[in-house]
Amino acid sequence: MDQTLRSWIEQALPGRRVVAERDLTGGYSNQNTAITMDDGGQFVLRRYRGANACAVEAALARRLTGVVPIPGVVAADDTGKTAGEPVLLSAFVHGRQLGEVLTGETAAELGREVGATLAAIGSVTFAAPGFFADARLEPGPAGAEPTAGLDAWVDRCLREGNAAGHLTDAEQRQLRRYAEQATPPLTALAGSSRLVHADFNPKNLLAARDGAGWRVVAALDWEYAFSSSPLYDVGNMLRFPRPPGFEDAFLTGFRDHGGELPPDWRQLSRALDLYSLADFLTRPVEHRYFGRAITRIRALLTGD
């Protein structure tokens, strides 16, 4: 860490000095570093290596305080004018990634907790569907509909991506047909304007155990968040198999805390998740999720 960034942190935490730092796991698009101060206080410094979502993440953290378990923002420099680069400083939350503690024994308890957390996220609403560009959290552009155009999106990702050599020509044709058939039913979700995390999976949830049992203590990494249907997050969480008992408990926790699931929620959520899976096909083949996307798409096409 250079002196400019160190000085910015110490200005945000007056009277304290940085004495240690260590990289954290997760945050694949950005760099997360645990910072320890001389009084023992711990914080997380988030540095934006890809798109600069600092202003959006800081604004969401403030809006979600008291609604969703989320680390509190200490300071943010979305332009990098003072810190030397766009950065977000947040409180350190003690917990373990959900994937580390999710087992057959904990599946039901954690499933209910995760479902309740997703319902809380979806309780936050906006004036319209769309995407966030800055701290105002006003979805745009005007007329945007995140649930529309799945067939065109999949076609573009196949044409411009790296699927050739990894999906056969027959599989690519089948995927296009799947997207064409899945697109019309998604019109039922048009106009949905609830908060979507958009990367809602075990690596972005921290869990901890207290006297009452397991609970979700933080939802992390909001850089992709937008306004649309919570079924995006349902599809993401259920993209891959989870321990027995998790799915039923997750859905129960979601419904019991105000989440709504239409009768065809499974088909709709899988269709929405295809936006992300198809996008992974445009990444380099060595990307950590490219191969997993190929595997999941094949399972989708075979009905597994």
pLDDT of residue 303: 83
Closest CA to 110 of 96, 121, 90: 96
Compute the distance between CA of residue 292 and CA of residue 304 in angstroms, rounded to an integer: 15
Q: What is the mean pLDDT of residues 124-128?
A: 98
Across 24-28, 29-33, 134-138, 141-145, least confident range: 24-28
Owner of token pair 């998790």: 246
pLDDT of residue 49: 87
Residues 170-222 pLDDT 10s? 999 999 999 999 999 999 999 999 999 999 999 999 999 998 899 999 999 99
- Contacts by 81-85, CB closer than 8 A, 24 or more apart: 82/8, 82/11, 83/4, 83/5, 83/8, 84/2, 84/4, 84/5, 84/8, 85/5, 85/47, 85/48
Chain centroid to Cα 129, Å, comes to: 17
Q: What is the mean pLDDT of residues 14-43?
A: 91
Whole-angstrom CA distances from 110 to 131, 219, 244 are 30, 14, 12
Residues 58-112 pLDDT 10s? 999 999 999 999 999 999 999 999 999 999 999 999 999 999 999 999 999 999 9
Could you tell me the domains of the chain? 3-92 (3.30.200.20), 97-302 (3.90.1200.10)
Amino acid letter, 235 = G
Entry pTM: 0.96
DSSP letters, 178-198, are HHHHHTGGGGGGTT--EEE-S
Check if the beta carbon of residue 176 is closer than 8 Å to that of residue 168: no
Computed from CA positions of residues 137, 141, 145, 146, in that sequence, does the dihedral angle turn out positive or negative?
negative
User: What count of other Cβ atoms lies within 10 Å of the Cβ of residue 65?
Assistant: 13
Say how many Å lie between the first and final Cα of the chain, rounded.
47
Compute the distance between CA of residue 48 and CA of residue 128 in angstroms, rounded to an integer: 27
Angle formed by the axes of helices 265-280 and 150-160, to 10°? Answer: 30
Whole-angstrom CA distances from 210 to 43, 160, 217, 274 are 22, 48, 11, 37
